[in-house]
Amino acid sequence: NKPYVFITRKLPEETLKNLYEVAEVSMWPKEEEPVPRERLLEEVKRADGILTMLSDKIDEELLTNAPNLKVVANFAVGFDNIDVDTATKKGIAICNTPDVLSDTTADLTFGLLMATARRIVESAQYIQEGKWKNWGPLLMAGTDIHHKTIGIIGMGRIGQAVAKRATGFEMEILYHNRSRKEAAEKELGATYCSFEELIEKSDYIVCLAPLTPETRGLFNEKAFKQMKTSAIFINASRGDVVDEQALYHALTNGEIQAAGLDVFQNEPIGADHPLVNLPNVVAIPHIGSASVETRMVMAELASRNITNVLLGKKPEAIVNEMVLT
């Protein structure tokens, strides 16, 4: 009797080959629509493993009604959608997809920074709307990126990959992180500073910190007031690190200049979201790791993570390693 694995979103079959060899697999057949909560609760009554998306809530209710569950493999590096404490108590392995998406996410983050600073989206819309009648000395003039100061909050693998890109633009690099990253200081010339100092000094404030009790609501009214009025805020981690009302207020009252946002407090957001309609906001739909190449590799890694746990082997990426012993 093969173990049973449920996948909460349609993934390319070819990325799941190793999983098919060891398990009976079933998959929610839609790519853009999440599995209904009731169906997922039904599936975990018999599942030995589940491959989940960041939009699936893997909470205590679900985990306590999953008697056979041994592994949850999240198709993301972040795992704030999962109650890891409860899973650990129940001996359920929680796996994620770090490393394989770092460069891809850093590319998007830096692209978002550039698009925001140089008003690329606004400029493209300007042409689409037929407004381009003349060349002008200050037409769509934005802000320089090169030689400015970038402050990175969350100097993990993605943060360091963003810093590496910033060195090419000869930027001064500040960072804040729970722990010092001496290698990054040496190799990238990054300077550690307190959160307060970072937000006061930086021209670009880039958040790549995971969502934790410490980072929830970190960017609040007080934080935006401390930033330069010319500051550009970029968020590519999780929406809940920001108080969106405070951000809206800061953007409409000249407390900061602009924001580039890949993530939001309540995703997905609609065209009526207040932040989306501001000319100084570039909003994109949580696509940090979304290159075709990287999404394939993430699916393969998530699939191998499940296979390895089911075979009693150590998975390549596990969040709560203590459950293995």
**267 a catalytic residue:** yes
293 is catalytic: no
Q: What are phi and psi of 7, to 5 degrees?
A: -110, 130
x/- map, 35-64, ligand GLV, by CB under 6 A: -------------------x----------
Which has the closest alpha carbon to 76: 108, 105, 33, 47? 105
Q: What's the min distance (Å) between Cβ of 282 and ligand GLV? A: 17
Residue 242 carries which DSSP code? B
Q: Which of 3, 98, 151, 260 binds ligand GLV (CB under 6 A)?
A: 98
Cross-strand pairs, 173: 150
d(CA 161, CA 209): 13
Catalytic residue among 157, 165, 238, 304: 238
- Select 158 or 223, whichever has its Cβ closest to ligand GLV: 158
**From the CB of 243, what's the least distance to ligand GLV, in Å?**
19
Q: Give residues with Cβ within 8 angstroms of 155, minimum separation 6.
A: 163, 175, 176, 177, 181, 184, 190, 208
- The catalytic position among 286, 295, 300, 304 is 286
Sequential DSSP letters for 164-190: HHHHHTT-EEEEE-SS--HHHHHHH--
Which of 71/256 has CB closer to ligand GLV? 71
**Binds ligand GLV by CB under 6 A, chosen from 102, 257, 303, 305:** 102
Write out the two tokens for 84.
């890891």
Q: How far is CA 97 from CA 134, 195, 270, in A?
A: 48, 27, 28
Among 49, 156, 260, 315, binds ligand GLV (CB under 6 A): 156
Q: Residue 258 in contact with residue 251, Cβ under 8 Å?
A: yes
**Residues 224-263: x where in contact with ligand GLV by CB under 6 A, - otherwise, as a string:** ----------------------------------------
Q: What CA–CA distance (Å, rounded) separates 46 from 44?
A: 5
Instruction: Compose the 192-211 pattern: x for residues touching ligand GLV by CB under 6 A, - for all others.
Output: ----------------x-x-
Is residue 304 at the binding interface for ligand GLV, with CB under 6 A as the rule? no
Q: Is 157 in the site for ligand GLV (CB under 6 A)?
A: yes
Q: Identity (one letter) of the amino acid at 233?
A: F
CA pair distance 308, 269, nearest whole angstrom: 36
Q: Which stretch binds ligand GLV (CB under 6 A): 73-81, 87-95, 126-134, 240-248?
A: 73-81
Count of C-beta atoms within a 10 Å radius of residue 295: 19
What is the rounded distance in angstroms from the CA atom of residue 202 to the CA atom of residue 152? 9
CB of 260 to ligand GLV, least distance (A): 15
Residue 160 CB, nearest approach to ligand GLV (Å): 8
CA distance 223 to 62: 36
What is the tally of helices (H) and strands (E) in the chain? 12, 12
DSSP for residue 292: H
Stretch that binds ligand GLV, among 10-18, 71-79, 225-233, 307-315 (CB under 6 A): 71-79
Q: Residue from 49, 159, 260, 315 that binds ligand GLV (CB under 6 A)?
A: 159
Minimum CB distance to ligand GLV, residue 209 (Å): 8
288 binds ligand GLV (CB under 6 A): yes
Residue 289 sits in the site that holds ligand GLV (CB under 6 A): yes
Any contact of residue 3 with ligand GLV (CB under 6 A)? Answer: no
Q: How many CB atoms lie within 10 A of CB 281?
A: 21
Measured distance CA(23)–CA(6) in Å, rounded: 10
Q: Which residues are catalytic?
A: 238, 267, 286
Which residues of the shown chain bind ligand GLV in the complex (CB under 6 A)?
54, 76-78, 98, 101-102, 156-159, 208, 210, 288-289
